[in-house]
Amino acid sequence: MPRHSRLVLPAVPLHVIQRGHDRQRCFFVDDDFVEFRQWLHEETVIARCEVHAYVLMSNHVHLLVSVEDARQLAAMMKGVTQKYAQYFNHRHQTTGSPWDGRYKSCLVQTEGYLLACQRYIEMNPVRAGMVRFPGNYKWSSYRSNAEGRHDALLTPHSVYRRLGMNDNERRQAYLRLFQETLTPMQIAEIRAAANGNGMLGDKGWGASNPRP
């Protein structure tokens, strides 16, 4: 079956998901998370991709990224997943790929949707019952976006930067967003768009950016 073209538009962020093989664990110990995040940082620099939010779960990865074209995204994901696979097999004495085929991605409309998607990503550990508060999970962008901890991997999106006049104002405004939980409809919409390699946005926006 031929592969469908990925829809990538300049300056339009993407929600990217890479799952573990057969939804099995791809991270077991802290070193696994550390190595993956380091290679992700290196590959984003090489491919000139910007990461706005992320979470590394035990059996999958969520990213919110901006790229100029599909080749950059493909190069970045290929680089990091291949390097991590080599490390993973050596570290855990396994063979084959820890990943479940190709990554999934969807375009995210900036106004009204980007920050919702960003919160969805950073709240994954809470929804999974791993922690009670997103700041208690150290393998995500929440501690940087909401608490100001330095994370070299991240480049704040312009929508996030417009939340305040300075870093403190932006963090406080971002924290207030978490006082309201995403609705079940919002969560379902984000999941459907990502799993279907589609678009997360209003109907008018989707119609103006047809799939090639």
**SS3 sequence, the chain?**
CCCCCCCCCCCCCEEEEEEEHHHCCCCCCHHHHHHHHHHHHHHHHHHCCEEEEEEECCCEEEEEEECCCHHHHHHHHHHHHHHHHHHHHHHHCCCCCCECCCCEEEEECHHHHHHHHHHHHHCHHHHCCCCCCHHHCCCECHHHHCCCCCCCCECCCHHHHCCCCCHHHHHHHHHHHCCCCCCHHHHHHHHHHHHCCCEECCHHHHHCCCCC
Handedness of CA 44, 66, 72, 57 (dihedral sign): positive
Domain at 14-201, CATH class: alpha beta
CA separation for the pair 173, 146 (Å, rounded): 9
Confidence at residue 111, expressed as pLDDT on a 0 to 100 scale: 87
What distances in angstroms separate CA 81 from CA 55, 78, 87, 149, one per listed residue? 15, 5, 10, 26
Q: What is the CA radius of gyration of the chain?
A: 17
Confidence at residue 21, expressed as pLDDT on a 0 to 100 scale: 93
Confidence at residue 203, expressed as pLDDT on a 0 to 100 scale: 78
C-alpha atoms less than 13 angstroms from C-alpha of 75 in its C-beta half-sphere:
14
Confidence at residue 9, expressed as pLDDT on a 0 to 100 scale: 75
Confidence at residue 191, expressed as pLDDT on a 0 to 100 scale: 95
Confidence at residue 179, expressed as pLDDT on a 0 to 100 scale: 94
Nearest CA-CA partner of 108 in 174, 178, 205: 205
Query: Phi and psi dihedrals of 68, rounded to 5?
Result: -90, -30
Q: Which residues of the chain have pLDDT under 70?
A: 1-6, 204-212
Confidence at residue 5, expressed as pLDDT on a 0 to 100 scale: 56
Nearest CA-CA partner of 62 in 187, 211, 147: 187
Confidence at residue 11, expressed as pLDDT on a 0 to 100 scale: 76
